[in-house]
Structure 1
Amino acid sequence: MTTFEITGMTCGGCVKRVQAKLEAVAPGVQVQLKPPQATVPGPADVNTLQAALAGSHYGVTAPAVVEPPPVPAALAPSWFATYRPLLLILAYILGASMLVQGAQVHGMETMRYFMAGFFLVFSFFKLLDVPAFADAYAGYDLLARRWRPWGHIYPYVELALGVAYLANFAPLWTNAVTLVVMGFSAIGVIGAVLDKRAIRCACLGTVFQLPMSTVTIIEDVGMVLMAAAALWL
């Protein structure tokens, strides 16, 4: 179906005269006054229609190319919507860290339980798909980029640290390992953020699509500071 604009029509009589002329070359054509146009079922040549109206004061113009309305781009999710899974997990871990202590909530114990929960929960998401995590982790971690097996080992290191914190096993060594591991990881994260690389954060494995940002820096540096505080105190 093709629609053409008709010029020169002013009344119903004009519509009938144009209809009769165009019917000869375009059977089934429908002509109307408001708006002044002719609709031809199927393809039609504007020159043929103009020839049919030759000798009259009516004219036919080629159909205008109508641009399809632009499809609005999907709105970018808000900061809270993007990091909601991470914030919820951290809130759950913090709440559980205080609840397990009962009425006697102690700052250092809360920190130890929080670090235990952090490593246990975050290693769980990484262990769901270790190869996919290793690929994502190699995108920004300095060691995983140069030595691929580190990306496969790292989730188990986090799991071991989580168990060690929960059992309060060798606190000196546990905090020292955390300081080194998370500190080295933070270097790669900071580099990726400063370079403004649009890569995925692998902190929760590949289950959630979290972008690399200052939130990831705070996460890694926060664990480094807590491990350092535990060693200092």
Structure 2
Amino acid sequence: MATAASGRQAILYRMTIGKSMCPHGRKALHLLKSRGFQVEDHTFKTREETDAFKAAQGVTSTPQIFIDGERIGGNSDLRRYLGLSVPDPKAVTYRPVIAVFAVTALMALAASWQAYGALVPMTVFRWFIAFSMCVLAILKLRDIESFSGMFLGYDLLARRWVPYAYLYPFAEAAAGVLMIAGVLEWLSISIALFIGTVGAVSVIKAVYVDKRDLKCACVGGDSNVPLGFLSLTENVMMVVMALVMLAV
């Protein structure tokens, strides 16, 4: 781990070919300067310059950082050297789901304030569920093949009838839009109640009955969100919203 950096010298070699600028090089430059290093910044303007440097140093990538004459490596190596965390792209995380719910909650609060000049609890709750459904549907529709493949791993209905895996995000989006508009409530309630119930039962069986270690397709098929409590929450919220709308 690095000691106090103030006044220490760092040498950075990074690529800036034409209008293309290596983002990792920019991150490394910012990190070094923010930690108080005096940075000697070398940029490569051509592919030939970059390849010659890599061959001379025996490395396969840029940027490359040197501190006190020692080669540290690339941006991730620099973060480790400075005692900072390095994200693992394969690590399981609930962050995408938390981000969706947090932002859609703020959207619902803002929309209620704009529409009524006040925070109307039932309206906020309704819009929060509807906004969440729409955003989650968008994430699924980015790559519906990837989503459907992951979804088929645990959804009980999709495993019996494959087209349901393709219809699900469209149904989720439709129900959300109808809830926001406040029209055709019989349809939005029916959709939310159906897909929410099937989803909740599927998650309960896969996670709590069969004890399977799976990833959730709730934010798309390329996520590392584990199938579990927050995945169940998405479905339970839809069921609760449908029941509330039936009651009022």
Q: TM-score range by the shorter chain?
A: 0.5 to 0.7
Residue of structure 2 equivalent to 1:97: 108
Q: Tell me if the contact between 2:136 and 2:219 (Cα under 8 Å) persists in the aligned partners.
A: yes
**Of 96, 116, 126, which aligns to 1:112?**
126
* TM-score for the superposition, normalised by structure 1: 0.63
Counterpart AA for 2:201: I
Residue of structure 1 equivalent to 2:230: 215
Is 154-163 or 221-230 further displaced after alignment? 221-230
Counterpart AA for 1:229: V
Q: Tell me if the contact between 1:176 and 1:231 (Cα under 8 Å) persists in the aligned partners.
A: no
Residue of structure 1 equivalent to 2:47: none
Q: Deviations over 1:119-159 (max 9, x none)?
A: 11001010011111111111111110011111011111111
Is 213-222 or 97-106 further displaced after alignment? 213-222
Following the alignment from structure 1 to structure 2, what is the Cα–Cα distance between the partners of residues 222 and 100? 19
Residue of structure 1 equivalent to 2:195: 181
Following the alignment from structure 2 to structure 1, what is the Cα–Cα distance between the partners of residues 183 and 136? 20
2:128 aligned with 1:128, yes or no?
no
Report the secondary structure of 2:94's partner residue. Answer: helix
Residue of structure 2 equivalent to 1:87: 98
Counterpart AA for 1:108: M
Following the alignment from structure 2 to structure 1, what is the Cα–Cα distance between the partners of residues 191 and 162? 20
Shift in Å at residue 176 of structure 1? 2.7
For residues 199-214 of structure 1, the aligned pairs below 5 Å read 199-214=214-229
Residue of structure 1 equivalent to 2:177: 163
Following the alignment from structure 1 to structure 2, what is the Cα–Cα distance between the partners of residues 133 and 85? 15
Residue of structure 2 equivalent to 1:228: 243
Following the alignment from structure 2 to structure 1, what is the Cα–Cα distance between the partners of residues 245 and 100? 23
Q: Tell me if the contact between 2:152 and 2:158 (Cα under 8 Å) persists in the aligned partners.
A: yes
Report the secondary structure of 2:140's partner residue. Answer: helix
* TM-score for the superposition, normalised by structure 2: 0.59
Q: Number of matched residues?
A: 156
Shift in Å at residue 193 of structure 1? 0.8
CA RMSD of aligned residues (A): 2.0
Shift in Å at residue 179 of structure 1? 1.0
Residue of structure 2 equivalent to 1:172: 186
Counterpart AA for 1:139: G
Following the alignment from structure 1 to structure 2, what is the Cα–Cα distance between the partners of residues 119 and 217? 14
Q: Tell me if the contact between 1:125 and 1:207 (Cα under 8 Å) persists in the aligned partners.
A: no
Q: Cα 1:222–1:116, aligned 2, differ >3 Å: closer, same or farther?
A: closer
Following the alignment from structure 2 to structure 1, what is the Cα–Cα distance between the partners of residues 190 and 163? 22
Residue of structure 2 equivalent to 1:137: 151
Q: Flag structure 1 segments of 5+ consecutive residues without an equivalent.
A: 1-74
Shift in Å at residue 229 of structure 1? 1.6
Q: Tell me if the contact between 2:149 and 2:221 (Cα under 8 Å) persists in the aligned partners.
A: no
Q: Tell me if the contact between 2:151 and 2:165 (Cα under 8 Å) persists in the aligned partners.
A: yes
Q: Which has the larger radius of gyration?
A: 1
Following the alignment from structure 2 to structure 1, what is the Cα–Cα distance between the partners of residues 241 and 180? 15
Report the secondary structure of 2:93's partner residue. Answer: helix
Report the secondary structure of 1:211's partner residue. Answer: coil
Counterpart AA for 1:119: M
Q: Flag structure 2 segments of 5+ consecutive residues without an equivalent.
A: 1-85
Shift in Å at residue 185 of structure 1? 1.3
